Structure 1
Amino acid sequence: MRLTAESAFVLHARPWRETSLLVEVLSERHGRLGLVARGVQGPKRQALRAALQPLQWIRFDAVQTGELARLNTAEAMDVAPRLGGEAMLSGFYLNELTLRLAPRQDPAPELYDAYARARQRLGAGEPLAWTLRRYERDLLEALGFGFDWHHDGDGDPIDPAARYRLDPEHGPRRLLSDRGHGDRSSAATGRGLLALADDRLPEGDDLPGLRRAMRGVLAHHLGPRGLKSWEMLSELGRVAAPRDGHTTGE
């Protein structure tokens, strides 16, 4: 299959053999794709190497002959967001999560659009924790794992004053007052869930609960192997979002 003028975002690139790269992209029409970029070393290939950096939006031509496609040409469509500190780590998380959960060669235009929005928000300096929670919500929806955020797993409306854990298979489950502390520590407020449902910035106190509840769902779909970005944030001791929502909270 020949891929012509395909629009995509670069998720990951790593050296392969002496002069080539293995590149993972999220494409607009074909979902996640693996590309082999041959002969990218040398001064004449500098523009191509720059176009294949993570978070870069590109247009490319390739030939799909098996699991991996052979890259012919690629050009940058804009200037990738210049991120530093926690914003850079958030971009790494965005790419790693997409790489791990999006299947190859499975068109997902909703996911492509969600990634484009999250990338723009990172570049614009919007609150990091809120940017990532919105992307997690949209990614789950695009991959068929989403919930009705306005109702719990039994079909009852979400109560803003209650607390809920997120069951990966059934959606929000209301916690009763006699439940153990372990359930409550990974729970989200109903107020936070409704804010997420309405795409409305939650109260600062609600963001940590959303992070913990969403992580449980994502961990279920990721399986026993977690994310490197989670490990990095744990090592740095950044495990909770502040009230303003600007920290990743991952």
Structure 2
Amino acid sequence: MQASPSSAFVLHSRPYKETSALVDLFTPQGRLRAVLRNARGKSGSLARPFLPLEIELRGRSELKTVARLESAGIPNLLAGEPLFSGLYLNELLIRLLPAEDPHPHLFDHYAATLQALAAGRPLEPLLRAFEWRLLDELGYGFALDTDLHGTPVAADGLYRLLPDSGLERVELLQPGLFHGSELLALAEADWSATGALAAAKRLMRQALAPHLGGRPLVSRELFMTFKESPRD
């Protein structure tokens, strides 16, 4: 069975048998895995992350076969911190997105985020927005301007995140809390507000942690190594 052409990005690829590659793809129809034959030829040169592709797949099983693979746009050339940020997005999708579960709006958001990374836009707002969109698409999202009881978040209040429920107001100071003013700034995507970016990073880490199963993210470790390594 041959599917109609689809937009796609390669999330990851690795050698498979003698001359093939096993590729993880992100398409509007979901995350798919496919075998790319003759991966040392022209198609293999296209099977790299961040390049917009048009693809046709064959097969009824979860493991498809690439029937056609062509470039479909300008490559998103990422280097340095934007490169590691893109690898981070890819790893999140591989780890969290169920196979063959369509998310066309998330696909569009991913494509736009890659373009913004390639254009040199500030990294932190792009990453936090994508993490939030991914959680929301997977059904793990929560309100930022109301607590788990539906009460509006108070700017002078303190809140903790219960990942399965939402935000809960607390009275006693404890590690990992969020100020209401920070949460309200995040609800408005006001990244210029004091503490907003730092709070968003902590909040997304707390929200993502239960769904990552305790396994560290390879891209995050690579990024930390890159930041710590001496550079000219």
What CA distance in whole angstroms lies between the structure 2 residues aligned with 1:192 and 1:168? 18
Q: Give 1:193 deviation, angstroms.
A: 2.5
What CA distance in whole angstroms lies between the structure 1 residues aligned with 2:158 and 2:112? 29
Aligned to 1:224: 214
Amino acid at match of 1:39: N
The count of aligned residue pairs is 228
What CA distance in whole angstroms lies between the structure 2 residues aligned with 1:69 and 1:207? 40
1:73 aligns with 2:63: no
Q: Give 1:114 deviation, angstroms.
A: 2.0
Residues 136-147 of structure 1 aligned to structure 2 (within 5 Å): 136-147=131-142
Q: Give 1:67 deviation, angstroms.
A: 1.5
Q: Give 1:14 deviation, angstroms.
A: 1.2
What CA distance in whole angstroms lies between the structure 1 residues aligned with 2:192 and 2:59? 44
SS at match of 1:131: helix
Structure 2 vs 1, CA of residues 163 and 55 (structure 1 numbering), >3 Å: closer, same or farther? farther
1:95 aligns with 2:94: no
Aligned to 1:241: none
Runs of 4+ in structure 1 deviating by more than 6 angstroms, as ranges, are none
SS at match of 1:225: coil
Aligned to 2:19: 19
What CA distance in whole angstroms lies between the structure 2 residues aligned with 1:111 and 1:2? 24
Aligned to 1:152: 147
Q: Give 1:117 deviation, angstroms.
A: 2.3
What CA distance in whole angstroms lies between the structure 2 residues aligned with 1:187 and 1:77? 45
Aligned to 2:178: 188
What CA distance in whole angstroms lies between the structure 2 residues aligned with 1:189 and 1:52? 44
Aligned to 2:202: 212
Structure 2 vs 1, CA of residues 191 and 126 (structure 1 numbering), >3 Å: closer, same or farther? farther
1:105 aligns with 2:100: yes
What CA distance in whole angstroms lies between the structure 2 residues aligned with 1:224 and 1:234? 18
What CA distance in whole angstroms lies between the structure 2 residues aligned with 1:190 and 1:2? 52
Alignment root-mean-square deviation, CA: 1.9
Structure 2 vs 1, CA of residues 237 and 179 (structure 1 numbering), >3 Å: closer, same or farther? farther
Give deviations 1:77-124, integer Å, cap 9, x for gaps: 112221111111101101101111000011112221221221122122
Q: Give 1:230 deviation, angstroms.
A: 2.4
What CA distance in whole angstroms lies between the structure 2 residues aligned with 1:189 and 1:20? 52
Percent identical: 38
Amino acid at match of 1:37: L
Question: Is the contact between residue 9 and residue 26 of structure 2 (CA under 8 Å) also seen in structure 1?
Answer: yes
What CA distance in whole angstroms lies between the structure 1 residues aligned with 2:179 and 2:52? 36
Question: Structure 2: where are the runs of 5+ without partners?
Answer: none
Amino acid at match of 1:232: L
Question: Is the contact between residue 50 and residue 77 of structure 2 (CA under 8 Å) also seen in structure 1?
Answer: no
Aligned to 1:33: 32
Deviating more after overlay: 150-159 vs 204-213: 204-213
Question: Structure 1: where are the runs of 5+ without partners?
Answer: 239-250
Q: Give 1:165 deviation, angstroms.
A: 2.7
Residues 167-182 of structure 1 aligned to structure 2 (within 5 Å): 167-176=162-171, 178-180=172-174
